[in-house]
């Protein structure tokens, strides 16, 4: 399971409202190769799940879509949003990450 904090839900809704093309669309969360720690997170809005194997998680009208390969790395992750002094952006609290980079956008298992 993947969870979202209140702040993440609010920010996703704000992004959806800011662009007519993304309104109501689910957010795809992926793990891709790259980054200073080996794997990176990738986010983007989509029309619908790409395959019937995609997993969908929803909270307060916000849906996340995750492919089965990425789910192996993301299971148990909490998606948060930070707008503090140390920077602004989505934060992945991933219990599967053994090591993360300084900016938090890449990890290794």
Tens digit of pLDDT per residue, the chain (109 long)?
899 999 999 999 999 999 999 998 999 999 988 766 578 889 999 987 778 899 999 999 999 999 999 999 999 999 999 987 777 889 899 898 776 655 455 455 5
Residue 82, phi then psi, degrees to nearest 5: -115, 135
Residue 27's nearest CA partner among 42, 14, 44 is 44
DSSP 15-67: HHHH-TTTTTPPEEEEEEE-STTSEEEEEEE-SS-SSTT-EEEEETTEEEEE-
Q: Which domains does the chain carry?
A: 3-99 (2.60.300.12)
Q: What is the pTM of this model?
A: 0.83
């Amino acid at each position: 399971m993947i969870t979202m904090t209140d702040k993440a839900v609010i920010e996703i809704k704000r992004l959806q409202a800011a662009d007519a093309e993304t309104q109501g669309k689910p957010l795809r969360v992926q793990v891709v190769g790259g980054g200073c720690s080996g794997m990176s997170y990738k986010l983007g809005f989509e029309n619908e799940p790409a395959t019937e194997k995609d997993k969908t998680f929803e909270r307060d009208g916000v849906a996340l879509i995750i492919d089965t390969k990425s789910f192996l790395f993301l299971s148990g992750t909490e998606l948060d949003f930070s707008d503090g002094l140390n920077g602004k952006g989505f934060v992945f609290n991933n219990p599967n990450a053994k090591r993360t980079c300084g900016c938090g956008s890449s990890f290794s298992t």
